[in-house]
Each structure stands twice: as C-alpha cells, then as structure tokens.
Copies of this chain bind each other. A is one copy, B any other.
C-alpha cells in the first residue's frame, strides 16, 4: 500500500496529466496522443468506427468504499462492454476525471485498474482531461468493426434463440449485501467491482448473431430494448437463466431470480441468433472461453418480454430493471 506520505500527496493538474502520460502504452495507429489539444489517430480503411461513452459517479454507479483500482477497472470495463455488444475491436480511449482533490496515491491506484484492463485489450489512452469536482469518471472508447459484422439492437428476428454469456445476478447480489451491511461474499463483490467485458465473444459473434446488447440495466429491461428496437417479443425460461454456484449457495431462489432478471451491472452479452447457428455459436464461445446459455426465443410481438417458470406458467418479476432517474 501507499506510504502515509504518498497518501496525502496533493499534485497539480499538470503533474497529474504527466503522471498519467508516463504510464500510457503506445499503438502504431496513434499519431499524437496525450499532451496536445486533441489526439490524432489513423483509422483503418474499410472498417466502421464504433464509439461509446459512459460515466461512473460515486454513490450511483459504485459503492463509496470501492477501491480506486476497481473504479479504474470498472470505468473502462463498462465502456468496453458497449463495444463488445457491437462486435467491435477496441482501439483507443479518452478519460475525463473529475476529482474533489488530486491525491497521487488515489490516482496511481485508479490507473493500476484502468491500465491493467486497457493493456489486456490493447487499448491506448490517447487523451481527456482532469478537473476539480465531485468524483466522476467519464470514458469514451473507440473500436473498429467490419460493416457486415456489426451487431445491433434492432436485428432480432422471430424464431431466433436468445442467449446470454456467463451468469446473471452476481453483481446485484453484491450490491444487496453491501447495502444490507451483513455477511458479504468476496466473489460476488468482485463481479460488481471488476466486471468482465465480453470483447472476444462479441467479436466472435459478428456474422453469427443477429441482435446483441450488453446487460447493464438488468436482463428484462435490456431485452426489452432489443425487442422494441426489433419490433418483436421474447419468451424466456426462468429455469434456464445461468446462475453462479456462489450465488445459488448464498441466497434463496426468490432473491436470486429477482437479481437474475432485474439486477443490473452484470455486463454479460445477451444476443439473438438463428437456430441454425447453434453449433457455430457453441464453437465460437468455446474458442474464446466464454460460457453461453440459451435462455429463450424471439416471438412475434411489439416489445413484450415474457418469463415462464418451470411449469410453463407466466412468471411476474417484482422489478423491471434500473433507471437512474426513477426513484
């Protein structure tokens, strides 16, 4: 850990930028990186550019006891997850940090998490800014996608299977445990603090899947976006929803089912694909070491998301997902 001296070390804005710049990795397609008015990059010919931007605010998007390194990881992860949902290959990112004060140790920790994830996906940090203000982290990411391989929300078709990667509900369970203040599982908390953006899976699904979305607001809410955009409906089998063994042991089904369907922050991919692609999808997911489960199918409709229980009866969720402004 940082020495007491470093913990209280305040640094100027210019030193702060220099501290970031010193740790940033290079990429051949970055012509001018941090340190000018704008970054200059050379996009590859013939590919589209995927651009996403997401902000994390303290107390809204992460508990206030979250470690700096985890905040750094998550700020980039939620953005890479958006690129994954488009089937894009990540390339560059910019970072805007609003900090109540500029502590060297906090910044170093933040960069540890942020740059560790950036390095795994060969993402170069090319610019941004630092300002004084309540803790807030805004990240924009840029990636490349072949025009024929882009995954969109509005491409689901009647008869498609509905799939999800990984397991559902762990992050919501961790948030519940944190709020309740009782026993807490470190494994669940890691899922909340260090989500895994499914970048390799998203890229592998280009040309195989029809529609795709990443699960940030909860399965039912996010599937609702896909169904409305695609002008279809969907039927989901409650018992098919993937569940981690940690979660199944730690909490009763009444809670785990609520978190699997309506909990946010999973950052798994939910995608639809024709039945004929089942084997190809299983192969592709196996190659990139990403579990994927069929959880239902796309039906005719206009945005309806229906969940059926083990007996085939309609199951009514207790919440419909997460919206920042609805209290």
Chain A residues close to B by CB (< 8 Å):
10-14, 16, 31-32, 35-43, 45, 48-55, 57, 59-61, 81-83, 85-86, 88, 92, 94-96, 98-99, 101-102, 126-134, 136, 138, 140-143, 145, 147, 150, 152-154, 212-214, 229, 323-326
Within the complex, which residue of B13, B39, B59 is in contact with A326, where a contact is CB–CB below 8 Å? B13
CB-CB < 8 A to A128: which residues of B? 53
Query: Which residue of chain B has its CB nearest to the CB of A44?
Result: B43
Query: Which residue of chain B has its CB nearest to the CB of A88?
Result: B38
12 contacts between A and B (CB under 8 A): A12-B325, A37-B52, A39-B52, A41-B49, A53-B94, A53-B95, A55-B133, A57-B134, A60-B131, A61-B131, A98-B136, A134-B134
CB-CB < 8 A to A323: which residues of B? 12-14
CB-CB < 8 A to A102: which residues of B? 325
Give the docked Cα–Cα distance between A134 and B214 (Å): 26
Give the docked Cα–Cα distance between A63 and B285 (Å): 52
Given contacts A35-B153, A51-B126, A323-B14, contact A145 B40 (CB under 8 A): yes
Distance (Å) between the CB of A123 and the closest chain B CB?
Answer: 13
Give the docked Cα–Cα distance between A102 and B326 (Å): 10
Contact across chains for B98 and A38 when beta carbons are under 8 A apart: no
Contact across chains for A40 and B49 when beta carbons are under 8 A apart: yes
Give the docked Cα–Cα distance between A83 and B95 (Å): 17
Within the complex, which residue of B36, B48, B86 is in contact with A37, where a contact is CB–CB below 8 Å? B86
Which among A38, A51, A55 has the greatest number of chain B C-beta atoms within 10 A?
A38
6 residue pairs, one from A and one from B, having the closest CB atoms: A57-B133, A38-B52, A138-B138, A37-B85, A53-B94, A140-B140
Contact across chains for A48 and B31 when beta carbons are under 8 A apart: yes
Within the complex, which residue of B35, B43, B54, B99 is in contact with A43, where a contact is CB–CB below 8 Å? B43
Copies in the complex: 2
Give the docked Cα–Cα distance between A12 and B88 (Å): 29
Contact across chains for A85 and B38 when beta carbons are under 8 A apart: yes
Contact across chains for A229 and B35 when beta carbons are under 8 A apart: yes
Contact across chains for A50 and B40 when beta carbons are under 8 A apart: yes
Contact across chains for B51 and A86 when beta carbons are under 8 A apart: no
Give the docked Cα–Cα distance between A229 and B34 (Å): 12
CB-CB < 8 A to A82: which residues of B? 37-38
Within the complex, which residue of B147, B150, B324 is in contact with A130, where a contact is CB–CB below 8 Å? B324
Given contacts A16-B325, A153-B35, contact A140 B57 (CB under 8 A): no
Distance (Å) between the CB of A53 and the closest chain B CB?
Answer: 4
Which among A45, A133, A153 has the greatest number of chain B C-beta atoms within 10 A?
A133
Distance (Å) between the CB of A242 and the closest chain B CB?
Answer: 21
Given contacts A53-B94, A55-B96, A127-B53, contact A83 B38 (CB under 8 A): yes
CB-CB < 8 A to A53: which residues of B? 94-96, 127-129, 138, 140
Give the docked Cα–Cα distance between A52 and B35 (Å): 11
CB-CB < 8 A to A10: which residues of B? 325
CB-CB < 8 A to A94: which residues of B? 51-53, 140
Contact across chains for B57 and A48 when beta carbons are under 8 A apart: no
Distance (Å) between the CB of A27 and the closest chain B CB?
Answer: 13
Give the docked Cα–Cα distance between A321 and B299 (Å): 62
